[in-house]
Chains A and B, each alone.
Chain A
Amino acid sequence: MNTLLSSSSSLNKEDSSTYQFVQEVFALTKRLFLQLIRRPSTLIAGVLQPLIWLILFGALFANAPADFLPGGMEYGRFLGAGIIVFTAFSGALNAGLPVMFDREFGFLNRLLVAPLQSRSSIVVSSVIYISTISLLQCFAIMTAAFFLGYGWPGEGGVLLVLLTLLILIFAVTALSLGLAFILPGHIELIAVIFVANLPLLFASTALVPISFMPTWLGWLAAINPLTFAIEPIRAAYSSSIGLGSVLIQAPYGDITGYECLLILTALTIGLFLFVRPLLNRKLI
């Protein structure tokens, strides 16, 4: 008969703390990807929804007056950046859901009784997972937009799109994970996602420029974080506009592409700093 429990030997364990952390993150991330592969509906829905938006809105405003958009830009090209950001935003906003389900079904307790090198591995694995699938979904939308004739980012533009999306995804993921630990259950989290998702899209420059909006909505759009992600990506699609150019003519002043990225980065750092004590309290 096998001996189930012999004296626990450190020889059987990885001893470097860095390796242990990597081992935890890898194992937890692998679990999330296995779930995705075996239940791909959320990934598919995450691509289908923005794709439908892209096609429908593109068609809806196809005959809009030529001076409707700055520089006489074609609407499909204008819309593409908005839909890419919307895709990343929606995906990242859902980051808290797997954690919430783990809380509700007791799986999180299973993780918390394990001698994790750092419980931040739970957060890191979620960030890796959400960033990867959000970027994949965005890439799918960019490809679809290209085939619809809405263009492709110019030279170096892909890197700018990637950088902007990553900053946004980190910010929204931090927010969503924070909510997953504050809210009592998944119903409440889904409610917050529903309430936040579309209003933030409409109150941004995703669908129309600020100049087209009533003043109050223009103000909202000019402080909406999505706008600060949309405009650099829109610039990436336009070879004639650089990051040093004014990308947002906000009611309170002009904002360049660099300033957009700076604001987004500050927001991300701020959100992580805001959420960190909460995660510490729940996870440590």
Chain B
Amino acid sequence: MLLVELHDLEKSYGSVPALRKLTLGIPKGALFGLLGPNGSGKSTTLRILCTLLEPDSGTVTVAGENALTNPRSIRNKIGYVAQEVAIDKILTGRELLQLHGDLYHLRRDYRDRRIQEMVDRLDMTTWIDRRSGSYSGGMKRRLDLACGLLHEPELLVLDEPTVGLDIESRSKVWSLLRELHNEGTTILLSSHYLEEIDALSDQMAIIDSGEVIANGSPSELKEELGNNRVTLKVQEFSNQVEGEKVRELIQGLKGLNDVVINRAQGFSLNFFADDSETLSILRSHLIEAGYGIFLLSESRPSLDDVYLKATGKTLMDAELEVSSKRDFKKEAKQSMR
């Protein structure tokens, strides 16, 4: 049973399309990961789902209700933890939670009981009554999570919840999400960290340029690729020109598929090989052409390979490509009401 259904969502910022006919279903009880590079449309999708943005076209349904016509009802069902931790530095953590409880119209005794549950559960006892301006990034994120969970939402939506967190804080957030998932909460989590989605989610979708390019469980998506992924380096530090020459040389070989240059890994080449025989032929071919082999390794397919197969580039390369074009000032304005 699907708790969330997004159908044919389209959204543009001026002339720049952010979502192109995006369609997605999130099963009830799932920990659903939304993976994609920065600027791929993840945050826009979540902001539309949380009624902060209106799509140009398409439909959004949460628990059978139309989010575009009944936004207030949907807001009751959703707990949203935004990418930027927006807290009032002057308030203490407890005061912020009280404010949240009041904005969700919780009865005072119930609100205070829930706050205490959150404080205990998220290990906030020692600092919750301090002003939040003095909190570390991890503390702010835990407080933000507590705000999102306070009113017992049916769906918890988290936009890049571990960006900028230290390892310990990230581990705490992961543990909490796993616990919530085990308790039956439906969680929608966006991230551009492969390992985060791989480690946490039981269902996922990959978004690229505002479209869903792959959808399923992480293991299914990886299994669909079948063969092992091969990484080839002809020398320790290569460059674009050499990478392209080697690709040209090997991509016609029988049994070798989806050869791409991985800039993020020092212009190594990534591809899938049908069998070990193919790799032997590859070795001979390279040596005949005068190339050495610094590294030739096989590994089971990862989510990066799923992304690579669908887009022809690695997630890291997509990040690098996007980061040079991003206008953070413009993005900040887009997120302002």
Contacts and interface: CB of A to CB of B under 8 A. Distances in A.
Contact of A5 (B76, B88, B98, B153): B153
B185 A112 contact: no
Given A2-B121, A34-B91, A107-B88, A114 B110 contact: no
Contact of A106 (B78, B82, B121): B82
A115 B100 CA distance: 10
A106 B335 CA distance: 8
Interface stretch (A8-16, A137-145, A233-241): A8-16
A283 B71 CA distance: 12
B134 to A, nearest CB: 13
Given A27-B103, A106-B86, A113 B95 contact: no
A5 B184 contact: yes
A33 B107 CA distance: 22
Interface stretch (A18-26, A61-69, A159-167): A18-26
A280 interface: no
A12 B117 CA distance: 15
B80 interface: yes
Nearest to B333: A184
Interface in A7-64: 7-8, 12-14, 20, 23-24, 26-28, 30-31, 34-35, 38-39
A44 to B, nearest CB: 16
B185 to A, nearest CB: 5
B241 interface: no
Chain A facing B: main interface SS: helix
A114 B180 contact: no
A117 interface: yes
B154 interface: yes
Contact of B151 (A8, A14, A110): A8
Contacts of B50: 113
Contacts of A35: 88, 90-91
A108 interface: yes
A113 B51 contact: yes
A252 interface: no
B149 interface: yes
Interface in B57-84: 72-73, 75-78, 80, 82, 84
B52 interface: yes
B183 interface: yes
A111 B1 CA distance: 30
A113 to B, nearest CB: 5
B147 to A, nearest CB: 8
A113 B78 contact: yes
Contacts of A14: 105-107
Contact of A31 (B51, B99, B151, B335): B99
Interface string B301-319: 0000000000000000000
Nearest to A104: B336
A101 to B, nearest CB: 10
Given A12-B107, A114-B75, A6 B152 contact: yes
B121 A4 contact: yes
B120 interface: yes
Interface residues on B, range: 35 or more
Of A1, A3, A28, A115, the most chain B CB neighbours within 10 A belong to A115
B313 to A, nearest CB: 31
A2 B88 contact: no
Interface in B283-337: 332-333, 335-337
Contact of A114 (B95, B100, B183, B335): B100
A13 B336 contact: no
Nearest to B47: A109
A8 B102 CA distance: 15
A24 B102 contact: yes
A103 interface: yes
Contacts of B88: 31, 35, 107
Of B110, B332, B336, the most chain A CB neighbours within 10 A belong to B336
Nearest to A17: B105
Interface in B154-195: 154, 156, 179-180, 183-185
B13 interface: no
A216 interface: no
A12 B110 contact: yes
A12 B76 CA distance: 13
B104 A13 contact: yes
A255 interface: no
A138 to B, nearest CB: 25
A64 to B, nearest CB: 45
B106 A8 contact: no
Contacts of A8: 76-77, 151-154
Given A13-B106, A39-B90, A113-B80, 18 more contacts: A4-B117, A5-B152, A5-B180, A6-B152, A7-B152, A8-B152, A31-B88, A34-B91, A35-B88, A103-B337, A106-B82, A106-B86, A110-B82, A110-B147, A113-B52, A114-B100, A115-B105, A116-B103
The 6 lowest CB-CB distance pairs between A and B, nearest first, are A27-B102, A106-B86, A115-B75, A114-B103, A12-B110, A8-B152
Interface of B: 50-52, 72-73, 75-78, 80, 82, 84, 86-88, 90-91, 95, 98-100, 102-107, 110, 117-118, 120-121, 131, 147, 149, 151-154, 156, 179-180, 183-185, 332-333, 335-337
13 contacts: A2-B121, A4-B121, A5-B183, A30-B99, A31-B99, A38-B131, A103-B336, A108-B336, A110-B82, A111-B103, A113-B78, A115-B104, A115-B105
